[in-house]
Amino acid sequence: MGWVDGLGCELLDHIFDVAQPQIAFRLSSDRGGSFVIPSYGRTIYDITCKYRPFQVKLQESHPRPARILSSQLRDLSFVAYISPVLPRPILSSICDAQPYGVHFRDITVCVPDDYSYVDDSYVFATLNVQIVALCSELSDQPLVRSFYRH
């Protein structure tokens, strides 16, 4: 329902030209115009609905939905992101997943350009409580800024 104008009208015209349906239904209300269906060789049914405003009210006994904290939303979005690689069943799979161990001497910290304001002595403090990815080193790609701690 609604007035079809501009690009929407052009798209509908094109759809009718390409698809060439034998039967078309025009849904409209008694409060406005409607899309003019091209009438070459088609059966067109007009269905006009009387406009009746309504308002839906929740019952008094219906509880309000619980608000989720932004930290909980971040946790849920992270779990949703990594869920395809977690073992099944999913309910306890995060705790059951095998952790990876990496020797500290084998770690290279790569910091993006937007961390250039962080002093070198505080790099590990900035990584605290952050999600860190374990990656394989590609020797043919230069690193923008890296810290080697051996």
| pLDDT tens-place string over residues 116-125 | 677 778 777 7
- Count of beta carbons in the 10 Å neighbourhood of residue 118: 13
Check: CB of residue 94 under 8 Å from CB of residue 79: yes
In this predicted structure, the answer to whether residue 19 has a pLDDT above a threshold of 50 is yes
In this predicted structure, the answer to whether residue 44 has a pLDDT above a threshold of 70 is yes
Which band of pLDDT confidence, cut at 50, 70 and 90, is reported for residue 108? confident
Cα(25)–Cα(46) distance, integer angstroms: 6
Extract the tokens encoding 96: 């059951």
Residue 10: what pLDDT?
Answer: 82
HSE of 29 in the Cβ direction (CA atoms, 13 Å)? 10
- Chain-centroid distance of CA 6 in Å reads 29
Extract the tokens encoding 76: 């849920």
In this predicted structure, the answer to whether residue 140 has a pLDDT above a threshold of 60 is no
